[in-house]
Structure 1
Amino acid sequence: MPSARPVAAPAAAARPARLLLSVEALCLIVALFWLASANLGFLRAAMAASGGFGLATLPLAVGLCGVVFALHALLLLLLATRRTLKPLLWLLLPVAAATSWFAGQFGVLMDPGMVRNVLRTDTAEARELLSPALLVHLALFAGLPLLLLSRVELRARGRGRALRQRALALLAVVVVLIGALLAVFQPLSSLMRNHKGLRYQITPANAVWSTGSVLAQQLRGAARPREAIGLDARPGPSWATAPRPRVLVLVVGETARAANWGLNGYTRQTTPELAALPVINFGAVQSCGTNTEVSLPCMFAPVGRRDYDEDRIRGQQSLLHVLARAGVGVDWRDNQSGCKGVCEGLPATTVTAQDFPAACEGGRCLDEALFADLGQRLDAAQGTQIWVLHMLGNHGPSYFRRYPPGFETWQPACASDDLRQCSTAQITKAYDNALRYTDHLLAAAIRQLQSRAGRVDSALIYVSDHGESLGEMNLYLHGVPYAMAPREQRQVPMVFWRSSGFEQGAGLKPACLEPTLRRHAQIGDVRHDHLFHTVLGLLDVRTALHEPDWDLTHGCRDATAGPAPGPAGLASAPAAGTGR
């Protein structure tokens, strides 16, 4: 009987090819890849700020390449081990690809404020940012590298040898970093001092640094409750004599910029309905920030931008808590990404398709849902109330989704989530159509308030949280750090309306409010910083936090009726709120 032949082992060629590398070698390769794939925008911006690329600036360009490479190599070498390097790269390669895409397309800088926006972006908002071009970019600069990474096998070494090789690699990278810095220190220090935003274009170090900063701040904040402010808040004398309930409707707009506001003289009349009503338009109001995450808490803080302290603002209660402490009925209604802590612990709701099916299709509600039951609420109002309506407004890039078809006044308007598919003119038309819809909603709300003037003394304030870039200086959307942000992102519209009986009901001098507010509008000195103190004045809430110089109604109340100081033993709370 013939012997059985042994079964041949599978051919080695049938197994996927593996590339054997040390941890240090892979770190250096990835750092070079990021320099070439994710930092060309940084290098272009740096050279443009230095007078352009040429023989004179060639040493600076080489030095910047050395610095960027060494920074990322150092980052990886300090964090990576044989077991952690691949999971780290599975996280950072997509982050680097996505960050470089949004920086290149919209001029977005990944600073801590932008990271907060990203972390708090809801599903519907994130979906609108997806586009075929983004997916192709991610496939090329994240998907392909990750596929190659799956073929890499990291070399196993003894502990002593691994430590020696890591130390040598770190030393070599530090030498490169120091050498590059010394070679171009004078032009580089001047460049970074005069263009501080450049540091947030170094990718993905920008995302790592900013995320770490935000998480550290959140951990510090989570360790302690928000500090109570305005502990002395109390109702003023007008509360006892007001003939009718008093309601202030505060509409917080989203991404509306002053440059395109019809009442400001824009070439397109984006606010025809408001123009036909007796509103006071404040022109270009200076915003607290250039994104919702910064602006919203700042708008409702005692100090705001003029003495900006982010930790204090995020660590304290807001204007709404002070009002509630005095007995004002507070209600927050949201059609965006939340109140950012401004309404924490207070009555708050978010509009949903279940509650307002006619206004909500495709997973997102039109802003008319915020106003749907305004009439019924006014009919049932009692006492002194503030109702905050947080709009979706002109949130980009999908401006065309912010208004119903009947408001497509200017055509052809951009009808794509990917702004690269549209011309600047088409993008602007879609943006202006969304403003026209906001104009309609505000005018309709004012008409409802007018119709109930015999029952409720009411007022309406509309102010946007920040502006928007629509291609100026090749920037789109918003979120540029405040110090370097263009005026399109920092100047916002604001309007005010009040019923015929509001002044008297609020205890203000008759016929004083109109000329006082119009004087401020004419001077053009209004900022978000005025909001906190003006609302206190309008609702006649007394607290030592109130600063008359920042109250737009100042001068319309008798001096003897001014805000009273806090009661004994509570003086420290107002001092903390004012930052003095």
Structure 2
Amino acid sequence: MPRSRFVPKIPPIDYRIVLVVLAVFFTLVLNARVLGHFYDILGALGAYDRGFAISAPFVLILASLVVFTPFSWRYLFKPFFVVLIATSALAHYGMMKYGIVFDRGMMENVIETNQLEAASYFSVPALLWFVATGIVPVCVLLIVPVRYPSTVLRGVGQRIVMMLVPLVLLGGIGGLYFKDYASVGRNNKVLGKEIIPSNFITGTIQLVKRRYLYADMPFRKIGEDARLVTAPGKTKPTLMFLVIGETARAQSVAANGYDRPTSPFTSQIDGLLAFQNVQSCGTATAVSVPCMFSPMDHANYDGEIARHSESLMDVLQRAGVKVLWKDNDEGCKGVCDRIPSIEISADAFPEECVLGTCYDEVMLRNLDQQVADKLVDQLIAFHLMGSHGPTYYKRYPEAHRAFAPDCPRSDIENCSAKELINTYDNTIRYTDYVVAELVAKLKSYEDRYNTVLLYVSDHGESLGEGGLYLHGAPYMLAPDEQTHVPMMMWMSDGYQTARAVGQECLGDQAQNGAFSHDNLFSTVLGVMGVETGLYQPTKDILARCTANDADMAGRRDGAVEAALATVSAAGPQRQ
């Protein structure tokens, strides 16, 4: 087809010029955050070498040329960079707007995000951002004709030069400012995780290596010695509600000292204890949930070992406890794969499920039928939707819109700080209501069961502090808002009597003790009266405040170590 006279003919551009333009684009546009962070760090230092400051963007441009050049061959050049620009634009938006760091943990979180959750991040500003930084550059790259070397030999020679010259220049800059870069890099390791596209590519490679390297790892059973032990004074079976919160941070819970009334319902419950100092195992559901249901602690947790091992729920079921998992979030991350489970469907509960998600009070539906069975020891786990962002406004019904104005949109960075906090606080307050309703339901069963409720969130959330939003930051760099989580516990009088729990002692533990997700595994085993070598009395919160736990607490340290060694032998520990 002849070219229209109205469409100007674009002369071919040498591929080396296109490479330089791409390197500049990635440095000044897609890496604007890391450069901004770098200069913020220098500004905080007060005195610094101006040459060092000026060199930073040139270092990124030169490094980009070295990395990009091998992909500049004909038939590979445009397809490769089309994909790279598009994915980098998405990562750029997440970093600029939410402060997300795309390491291996975040890539795991991204891959495990379901379609509904992914849709919650869509907004008109996000689309416009993607068009400006992704679609437009891609279209320009596709339209511009590129001139390549006439022979393969010449192409090889040119590309060697294209890589050697930047390497020599980088060596020169390194010789001048090595100490400066080493000092800033050593003290601000997050900078390396902010460089696009190396951050998400490296994270993806690490994730793929871990998953497929261990694909043939044998599946391990744990707690095969588990059995129920009847405690002295126990006349009724135990019914426990284990409530796993989502994205609730302790800083926004009134029961943890927050100055807004976000705990109005549980505050009216006699005997309900709010633990003040509890740390999560991870900063994302994909890490925290498997970790808290694993016998491994945070320091030694390995996700692949957990993925190829049974969980706390399996141990309880093997011991004879009737277990059930009810999920209103994004799945149990493997911990409920071998036990009875219910995934809440929006189609089944139209009254409680609007805007594409279900309010957490749906968990109370059909609960009487699910409990009403034989009078046996039971544990029901509830995985709440909680405060899942960024569409916080979808997590609570209008009747629980206590703080206004709120932020009825997903692009939370465009809400005022007041609107954002109001919206998030509404989710915390609504979770408090659901927890109180679950306690009320347990009270209705007290004539038949000794009842217990334990609530703990999987991780926290950033709401703009330090420029960060949402969660998923690398744990070693994560702010307290993402790792300090709320935990609450309530026990019926019957349970307290049967186990001889010292309420005053437990209250002191809640107020002054230091706990984490590491305590969940043994605490639940202790609550349910399950004896196994995996049980560690020092991690059972109740064991510290009971008078008749000699049998349960008398596990031999060697048995514990042997049981944990069996689990850990499945693979290497996390670094």
TM-score normalised by length of structure 1: 0.91
Q: SS of the residue aligned with 2:265?
A: helix
Q: 2:133 aligns with which of 137, 141, 146?
A: 141
Q: 1:340 aligns with which of 308, 333, 337?
A: 333
Hey, what's the Cα distance between the residues in 2 that align with 1:566 and 1:576?
A: 14
What corresponds to 2:510 in structure 1?
521
What corresponds to 2:321 in structure 1?
328
Hey, what's the Cα distance between the residues in 1 that align with 2:491 and 2:23?
A: 60
What is the CA deviation profile of residues 450-508 of structure 1, one whole-angstrom value per residue up to 9, with x for unaligned ones?
A: 01101122211110111111222222211221112221111111100122222455xx2
Q: 1:160 aligns with which of 114, 133, 153?
A: 153
What is the CA deviation profile of residues 431-464 of structure 1, one whole-angstrom value per residue up to 9, with x for unaligned ones?
A: 1111111111111111111011011222111101
What corresponds to 1:246 in structure 2?
238
Aligned counterparts, 1:76-475, within 5 A: 76-156=68-148, 157-238=150-231, 242-278=234-270, 279-380=272-373, 382-475=375-468
Hey, what's the Cα distance between the residues in 2 that align with 1:22 and 1:349?
A: 59
How far 1:11 sits from its partner (Å)? Answer: 5.7
- Across the aligned residues of Structure 1 and Structure 2, the Cα RMSD in angstroms comes to 2.6
Q: 2:67 aligns with which of 64, 75, 89?
A: 75
What corresponds to 2:485 in structure 1?
492
> Alpha carbons of 1:292 and 1:57: their partners in 2 closer, same or farther (altered >3 Å)?
farther
Q: SS of the residue aligned with 2:298?
A: coil
Hey, what's the Cα distance between the residues in 2 that align with 1:337 and 1:343?
A: 13
Q: SS of the residue aligned with 1:355?
A: coil
How far 1:223 sits from its partner (Å)? Answer: 2.5
Hey, what's the Cα distance between the residues in 2 that align with 1:25 and 1:165?
A: 12
What is the CA deviation profile of residues 145-179 of structure 1, one whole-angstrom value per residue up to 9, with x for unaligned ones?
A: 11111113343543222222222212123223333
> Alpha carbons of 1:83 and 1:378: their partners in 2 closer, same or farther (altered >3 Å)?
same
Hey, what's the Cα distance between the residues in 2 that align with 1:578 and 1:520?
A: 30
Hey, what's the Cα distance between the residues in 1 that align with 2:214 and 2:356?
A: 32
How far 1:273 sits from its partner (Å)? Answer: 1.1
Aligned counterparts, 1:541-556, within 5 A: 541-555=530-544, 556=546
TM-score normalised by length of structure 2: 0.92
- 8 Å contact kept, 2:450–2:494: yes
Hey, what's the Cα distance between the residues in 1 that align with 2:46 and 2:504?
A: 58
- 8 Å contact kept, 1:110–1:201: yes
For structure 1, which runs of at least 5 residues remain unmatched after alignment?
1-8
Could you tell me which amino acid in structure 2 is paired with residue 249 of structure 1? F
> Alpha carbons of 1:172 and 1:346: their partners in 2 closer, same or farther (altered >3 Å)?
farther
Q: SS of the residue aligned with 1:463?
A: strand
- 8 Å contact kept, 2:501–2:542: no
Residues 339-348 or 282-291, more deviating:
339-348
- 8 Å contact kept, 1:468–1:488: yes
Q: SS of the residue aligned with 1:187?
A: helix
Q: SS of the residue aligned with 2:43?
A: coil
Hey, what's the Cα distance between the residues in 2 that align with 1:388 and 1:161?
A: 65
What corresponds to 1:558 in structure 2?
549
Q: SS of the residue aligned with 1:263?
A: helix
> Alpha carbons of 1:47 and 1:501: their partners in 2 closer, same or farther (altered >3 Å)?
same
Q: 2:24 aligns with which of 13, 24, 32?
A: 32
> Alpha carbons of 1:221 and 1:324: their partners in 2 closer, same or farther (altered >3 Å)?
farther
Q: SS of the residue aligned with 1:380?
A: coil
How far 1:414 sits from its partner (Å)? Answer: 1.5
- 8 Å contact kept, 2:211–2:304: no
- 8 Å contact kept, 1:544–1:563: no
Could you tell me which amino acid in structure 2 is paired with residue 28 of structure 1? V
- 8 Å contact kept, 1:367–1:392: yes
Asked if 1:576 corresponds to 2:571, the answer is no
How far 1:311 sits from its partner (Å)? Answer: 4.3
Could you tell me which amino acid in structure 1 is paired with residue 254 of structure 2? G
Hey, what's the Cα distance between the residues in 2 that align with 1:479 and 1:186?
A: 31
What corresponds to 2:494 in structure 1?
501
> Alpha carbons of 1:52 and 1:522: their partners in 2 closer, same or farther (altered >3 Å)?
closer
How far 1:18 sits from its partner (Å)? Answer: 4.2
How far 1:314 sits from its partner (Å)? Answer: 4.0
- 8 Å contact kept, 1:230–1:574: no
Hey, what's the Cα distance between the residues in 2 that align with 1:147 and 1:545?
A: 58
Hey, what's the Cα distance between the residues in 2 that align with 1:188 and 1:538?
A: 53
Hey, what's the Cα distance between the residues in 1 that align with 2:435 and 2:390?
A: 23
What is the CA deviation profile of residues 66-122 of structure 1, one whole-angstrom value per residue up to 9, with x for unaligned ones?
A: 332233323322345322222221211122112122211111111111111111112
Provide the aligned length of Structure 1 versus Structure 2: 566
How far 1:16 sits from its partner (Å)? Answer: 6.4
Overall identity of the aligned pairs, in %? 34
Hey, what's the Cα distance between the residues in 1 that align with 2:313 and 2:220?
A: 14
What corresponds to 1:536 in structure 2?
525
> Alpha carbons of 1:183 and 1:343: their partners in 2 closer, same or farther (altered >3 Å)?
farther
- 8 Å contact kept, 2:255–2:267: yes
Hey, what's the Cα distance between the residues in 1 that align with 2:508 and 2:296?
A: 22
For structure 2, which runs of at least 5 residues remain unmatched after alignment?
none
Hey, what's the Cα distance between the residues in 1 that align with 2:227 and 2:464?
A: 48
Hey, what's the Cα distance between the residues in 2 that align with 1:377 and 1:504?
A: 26
> Alpha carbons of 1:113 and 1:455: their partners in 2 closer, same or farther (altered >3 Å)?
same
Hey, what's the Cα distance between the residues in 2 that align with 1:217 and 1:552?
A: 33
Could you tell me which amino acid in structure 1 is paired with residue 427 of structure 2? A
